[in-house]
Amino acid sequence: MPLKSLEDLASFCKRRGFAFQGSEIYGGLKGFWDLGPLGVELMKNIRETWWRSMVYERDDIDGMEAALISNRKAWQYSGHEGGFSDPLVECKKCHIRMRQDNMKDQTKCDACNSTDLTAPRDFKLMMGLAVGAVTDGEINAYLRPETATTTFINFKNVLDSASRKIPFGLVQIGKAFRNEITPRNFVFRMREFEQAELQYFVHPSEGMKWYEYWKAERRKWWVSLGIPAEKLREQEHEQLSHYAKAAFDLQYEFAGLGFEEVEGLHHRQDYDLGSHTKNQKDFNIQAKVMENKDSTAKLSYSDPQTGETYIPFVIEMAMGTHRCMAAVLDNAYTEEDLGEGNSRVVLKLKPTLSPIKAAVIPLARNVPELLTLAEKIHGELKALGLGRTVIENSGNIGKNYRRHDEIGTPVCVTVDHQSLEDGTVTIRHRDTMKQERVKADDIPDIVRKLIK
Ligand code: GAP
């Protein structure tokens, strides 16, 4: 049986130490979630998988990491300060505030059904800051609401320092902040979340070619996480943002929620590099951009072969890593009936994503020789550098197996009295519950092959 809702997933995550409501002991703060010991490992594995596929397995993409806070001007010229808002409606009776486009019925309050509502007004989503001692509280910077803009404004720095040729890409993984009107659905809509975004710079004549290319690549990546193709859906945007030539959402079918966006792919033309460029009139910018009086750089590219100078088009892949984590957990969570009144919860994560790669369990707690052998095996597993492995010395083998099934540990290695006599141990596989007797010396190799 799968999960029924994202609320169920949130309870599971709290119980097992994946994620906790932010500021919980002070009553919480809506839209903020903290990752626990298992969540932080799972998230690290998701980031690594994404980074590897984007940077290490390719030759045309570099990574970077920008500051979370940037100059107000960056967000003025990106169009966010003027236009990044959601329609806010307030109920005059119970005073709750709602995002109009998310209301169940646009004429009635979601909480009390009153029809006495304010007219919608634009609610700005960016979190402004007064940085330094000079401003007397006036906003002069913003916490970034996406990584993308902080990549665009570094385009020239990377081009000059890394000698890249078009087409090439730049990726960032990092925090983004949005003052969402109605944060909800566990980590699905948060006010502080993380994005993994690729900006791929191409010649204007090749925009649609690369858009189609990346569409296929991203779907493959999601499937490589163990998500079945039928739980993924592509939703082309019918109404495009003013800067976009084409866009689609990659959606995952969440328990109780249905298909919802986990990643956006946008053909952004020359809007971004054009917006942040000085002397815009020197270029034939195709997107509608605000006149820029403040930039000190031309974010253009000169082709060394043809001599052509132009503002590259951008194809963007924008994924939320928290939504990815929720999708991966939602997909992996399984309740299994084992017959005779027994059941188990098993998290069928791909071993590369599992927070704990292996657990070593001495069968009896009070036998020092068993613990010594278990520690030796654990030491060898740690030395492989595959990620976290643990030793469980509570002595209750059944409980340990169930606990590790539930948190997705691919294998448990049990050391018993026979191990002391013949140097063999039992390896138990999470998904099949199959147990095999193998040589203790072979364990590092077996685990390495499984995780890799
Ligand atoms: N640079 C483009 C951009 O930021 P977006 O569609 O607004 O595009 C990209 O965001 C991804 O970031 C989304 O597909 C989603 O996975 C994630 N995301 C956006 N807002 C979020 C929020 N409030 N909470 C959690 N994830 C969010």
Q: Which of 155, 199, 172, 144 is closest to 297 using CA atoms?
A: 155
User: Which amino acid, 381?
Assistant: L
Q: Chain centroid to CA 135: how far?
A: 35
pLDDT digits (tens, 9 = 90+) for 129-142: 999 987 788 999 99
Quick one: pLDDT at residue 242?
Answer: 82
Specify the 3-state DSSP secondary structure of 110: coil
- Token pair of 339 as six digits: 């017959």
Q: Which of 200, 174, 328, 208 is closest to 262 using CA atoms?
A: 328
Q: Give the single-character DSSP code of 117.
A: B
pLDDT at 243 over 90: no
Among the ranges given (75-79, 153-157, 391-395), the one the predictor scored with the smallest mean pLDDT: 391-395
Place of tokens 């659905």: 185
Average the pLDDT over 303-321 and give the result.
97
Q: Buried (b) or exposed (e) across 311-339, using 16+ Cβ within 10 A?
A: bbbbbbbbbbbbbbbbbbbbbbbeeeeee
User: Which amino acid, 334?
Assistant: T
- CA 395–ligand 1 middle distance (angstroms): 45
Average the pLDDT over 229-237 and give the result.
96
Atom 16, ligand 1: which residue's CA is nearest?
Answer: 320
Quick one: pLDDT at residue 137?
Answer: 84
Count other C-beta atoms under 10 Å from residue 256's C-beta: 14
- CA 38–ligand 1 middle distance (angstroms): 23
Residues 6 or more apart in contact with residue 223 via CB below 8 angstroms: 229, 232
CA quadruple 393, 394, 397, 402: dihedral sign: negative
pLDDT digits (tens, 9 = 90+) for 167-197: 999 999 999 999 999 999 999 999 999 999 9
**Among 195, 252, 257, 330, which residue has the most ligand 1 atoms within 8 Å of its CB, making it the best to mutate?**
195
Strands 301-302 and 309-310, sheet pairing: antiparallel
Atom 9, ligand 1: which residue's CA is nearest?
Answer: 318
Atom 20, ligand 1: which residue's CA is nearest?
Answer: 189
Local confidence band at 15 (pLDDT 50, 70, 90 cut-offs): very high
- How far apart (Å, rounded) are the C-alpha atoms in residues 141 and 138? 9
pLDDT digits (tens, 9 = 90+) for 403-452: 999 999 999 999 999 999 999 999 999 999 999 999 999 999 999 999 98
- How far apart (Å, rounded) are the C-alpha atoms in residues 132 and 271? 31
Specify the 3-state DSSP secondary structure of 324: helix
CB of residue 80 inside a 6 A radius of ligand 1: no
- How far apart (Å, rounded) are the C-alpha atoms in residues 221 and 215? 10
CB of residue 254 inside a 6 A radius of ligand 1: no
Classify residue 98 as exposed, middle or buried by CB count within 10 Å of its CB (0-12, 13-18, 19+): buried
